[in-house]
Amino acid sequence: MTNYSQIYTDLLANITTERLARGARLPSETELMTRYDASRGTVRKAIEQLQERGFAQKIHGKGTFVLSSSPIEFQLGGIVSFQETYPSLGNDVSTEVVEFEHFPLEGALTDKIDAEPGSLITRVKRVRRIDGKRVILDINCFVSELIPGLTPEIAQHSIYAYIEQTLNLQISFAQRTIEAVPRSKDDQLHLDLDGQSHVIVVSNQTFLQDGRQFEYPESRHTWDKFYFPHMAPRKPR
C-alpha cells in the first residue's frame, strides 16, 4: 500500500504547477484510496498536511479545495517586521501608506494599550502587496511620546528599523493573539478579498526592553495567501 507522503507529494506537485488551480476540488478520499490502494487514514493524513501548509482547505460536506499554489508562512515565533521578511516573499512586493493620523487614546483602544487615557497615539495604516495583490492590511498604533518623530515617509519603509537604529530603543517582546474575524469596512476597502467573508488577524501588545508598551498592531491577512505554523510541545506530566 502507498504511504501518505507519496499521495501528498503528487497532490502538491499538481497544486504548485497549477494543474490543480486555485478553487479546484481535489479528488475525493474514495478516489484517492482507489488510485493509490491506500487506507482512508493514509489519504486523510496527506490531505491534512496540505491543509496545515496552507495549500488546501476542507469544506464539510463539499470536499477539499485548493487555496493557493504558493502560500506564505507567517512566523509566529518572534517579532519580525514586514521589511525583514521581504527576501522570502519574492520580487513583486510593495507597501503603501494609506492613512497616517494622531488622536488621543480613548474608547476600546484603552484596553489594548497600557498608557494614560488621553495620551497621544500615532496610527499608521499600510497595505502590503504581494504579486500585485493587496493581501495584508497593517494597522499600527504607537504611543507617540515613546516613538517621537514618526512620519509617513518613515512608515513607507521599516518603522522597527527607525525605532532600533534612529531612536536607539530595543524592542523586547510581544503578547500575541491570532483569530479569524468577519471582514471589516477597512478590509473591503484595502484588501483583495475575492469574496472572502473573513480575514486572519494577528494582533500584538509590543513592549520595549524596559517593559513599557509602545505599540498595538493589527496585521489583517487574506486567508488564502498565508499559513501559520506553530510548534506546540506537550508539557511533561
16: confidence class by pLDDT, cuts 50, 70, 90: confident
Exposure letters 37-66 (e unless 16+ CB within 10 A, then b) = ebeeebbbbbbebbeebbbbbeeeeeebeb
Q: Are 85 and 76 in contact (CB under 8 A)?
A: no
* Region 10-30 average pLDDT: 88
Beta bridge partners of 196: none
Which CATH architecture fits 72-227?
A: 3-Layer(aba) Sandwich (3.40)
Q: Cβ of 185: how many Cβ atoms within 10 Å? A: 7
Q: At what angle do helices 40-52 and 4-16 cross, to 10 degrees?
A: 40
Chosen CATH of 4-66 out of 3.40.250.10, 3.40.630.30, 1.10.1660.10, 1.10.10.10: 1.10.10.10
**pLDDT score of 51:** 81
* Region 145-158 average pLDDT: 96
Q: For the segment 55-112, what is each residue's pLDDT rounded down to a tens digit?
A: 888 877 888 988 776 665 555 545 555 555 555 555 678 999 999 999 999 999 999 9
Asked if domains 4-66 and 72-227 share a fold, the reply is no
175: confidence class by pLDDT, cuts 50, 70, 90: confident
Q: For the segment 197-215, what is each residue's pLDDT rounded down to a tens digit?
A: 899 899 999 999 899 999 9
Tell me how many helices (H) and strands (E) the chain has.
7, 10
CA distance 235 to 166: 41
0.85 surpassed by pTM: no
Query: Where are the domains positioned within the chain?
Result: 4-66, 72-227
